[in-house]
Amino acid sequence: MSTTIDVGELPGRLSEALAIVASGHEVLLTDGVTPRARLVPYACPGPRVPGLHANAIQAAPDFDAPLPDDFWAGQS
């Protein structure tokens, strides 16, 4: 189910629009007859899993080495 609300009416109907979205439906925001945006329910991501990508990123051995002078001069 989709409900259409004109953007000019939105300030007065924001609570209604949010209630519709909270119930799992979408709200189409229009400017006259031109669609401008959709309000959709927020899909909460699943729980974070510690260690899921262990060792996927590794720092280079020289990651903290000083940068060469030509880098600072804009030549590299």
Please report, in tens digits, the pLDDT of each residue of the chain (76 residues total).
Answer: 789 999 999 999 999 999 999 999 999 999 999 999 999 999 988 898 999 889 899 999 999 999 888 888 887 5
* pTM summary value: 0.59
Is the residue at 68 inside a domain?
Answer: no
The H-assigned helical ranges of 1-76 are: 10-22, 69-72
What is the number of structural domains in the chain?
1
Domain range for residue 6?
Answer: 1-41
Q: What is the CATH number of the domain that holds 21?
A: 3.40.1620.10
Written as six digits, the tokens of 27 are 């709200």
Is the residue at 9 inside a domain?
Answer: yes
Q: What are phi and psi of 6, to 5 degrees?
A: -75, 140
Q: What are phi and psi of 69, to 5 degrees?
A: -60, -35
